[in-house]
Amino acid sequence: MDAERLRFLYRTDQGRIDRATWRRGAGALVAVLLPLTLIWFALAPYSAHDLATTPFFAPMTILAYVYVIFYAFAVMLIVVSFINLSAKRCRDRGLTPPLGLASLAPLLALLAGAAHFLQPRVAEVMSRWYVWGVDALFVAAALWTIYELGWREESRS
């Protein structure tokens, strides 16, 4: 794809796209996000730093925190790109408001990620059931988004 096509797909919510374009665009974003997430899963154990048992300057802990800053920035860019892409498809399907519906699955994905991160740290006040509840909402929204934007017939308007 050329730069103008990438700009149209990911940097603005204006316009309309068909389901095949949405599937390719969303797949490209997932292909970028998946390896970044796998790297974070590998580095996440090093983010727990106890000065009683480890030195003050632990290289892997520093690496984990530098990476999580990069990872958070990349996730935000991918979420905004996904919302812009999905808003175009929602508009094509006649779903209103397009930005609201396009934002539903990414918002719940971010909330689920935050719940998974927070729950072990505050387990005495946040039950595991809350995490599973947010996960269930995210899965439902993701399945609806994939079906509605990626597989549903083209609009007639």
- pLDDT (tens digit, 9 = 90+) per residue, 22-47? 999 999 999 999 999 999 999 999 98
Alpha-carbon distance of 131 to 6, in angstroms, equals: 35
Rounded (to 5) percent helix, strand, coil in the chain: 75, 0, 25
pLDDT at position 50 is 82
Judged against a pLDDT cut of 60, whether residue 84 lies above it is answered with yes
pLDDT at position 92 is 92
CB 104 within 8 A of CB 137: no
Q: Is residue 1 part of a domain?
A: no
Domain count, the chain: 1
| Per-residue pLDDT tens over the stretch 99-139 | 999 999 999 999 999 999 899 989 999 999 999 999 999 99
Confidence class for position 157, pLDDT limits 50, 70, 90: low
CB 47 within 8 A of CB 61: yes
H or E element in which residue 5 lies: helix 3-10
Q: Is residue 8 part of a domain?
A: no
Residue 137 belongs to what domain range?
Answer: 17-151
Q: Is residue 5 part of a domain?
A: no
Cis, peptide link before residue 55, omega less than 30° from 0: no
Q: Is residue 113 part of a domain?
A: yes
Structure tokens at 157: 């308007």
What pTM, to 2 d.p., does this model score?
Answer: 0.91
Q: Is residue 4 part of a domain?
A: no
